[in-house]
Amino acid sequence: MRHRHNYAVSVEWTGNRGTGTSGYRDYGRDHIVRAEGKLHELAGSSDRVFHGDRERWNPEELLLAALSQCHLLSYLHVASSRGIVVVAYTDDATGVMEQTADGGGHFTEATLRPVVTIAAGDPADALDAHHEAARKCFIAASVAFPVRHEPRIVLADDPANA
């Protein structure tokens, strides 16, 4: 049986500087992202190179964040089911988007670099768990570009990590 999950967000453009989109440089790219039941809004814009506000989240960063979050959550599930005790997890994810001649563009790749600290479990199994987590990540399964993984496992009781 297939389970269907529906998600919804609303986006409100807040960048009208008084003349709407009368010219390419005449309007702001600022917007607010909301979801029902969420206490906090996301302040978004376009990337600075596209005349956006560098202090706000842009869609490209949000896509990369979604990939990283999804892998994290999938990994924690897999680790738990394998008896691997994760005590810390960080990821420094990167992505590459290429612009096309017509002004469009697309991501060509993303690389996740999770560093997982474990207190119990086999380090080799903890490393292997990234493969299963990658297969179970809903977001990675939904994109049309490769999502690479460069994981590292750290033992919590290793004196070299103190």
Phi, psi of 31 (to 5 degrees): -155, 165
For 19-78, how does the pLDDT look when each residue is reduced to its tens digit (9 = 90+)?
888 888 888 898 888 888 888 998 888 888 888 888 889 899 999 999 999 999 999 999
pLDDT in tens, 92-111: 999 999 999 998 999 999 99
Average pLDDT over residues 151-160: 88
Query: Measured between alpha carbons, how far is 126 from 154 in angstroms, rounded to an integer?
Result: 10
pLDDT at 133 over 70: yes
Say whether pLDDT at 120 is over 90: yes
Task: Give the pLDDT mean for 126-142.
Answer: 97
Angle at 18 between CA 59 and CA 35, to 5 degrees: 35
Give pLDDT, residue 145.
96
Which residues have CB under 8 Å from 52's CB, separation 6+?
Answer: 29, 30, 45, 46, 58
- The residues, any chain, with a CB within 8 Å of residue 160's CB and separated by 6 or more, are none
Domains of the chain: 1-57 (no CATH), 59-161 (3.30.300.20)
Average pLDDT of the chain? Answer: 91
pLDDT of 24 reads: 84
- Is residue 3 scored above 90 in pLDDT? no
| pLDDT > 70: percent of the chain | 99
Q: What is the pLDDT of residue 102?
A: 94
- Identify the CA nearest to 53 among candidates 22, 24, 26, 15: 15
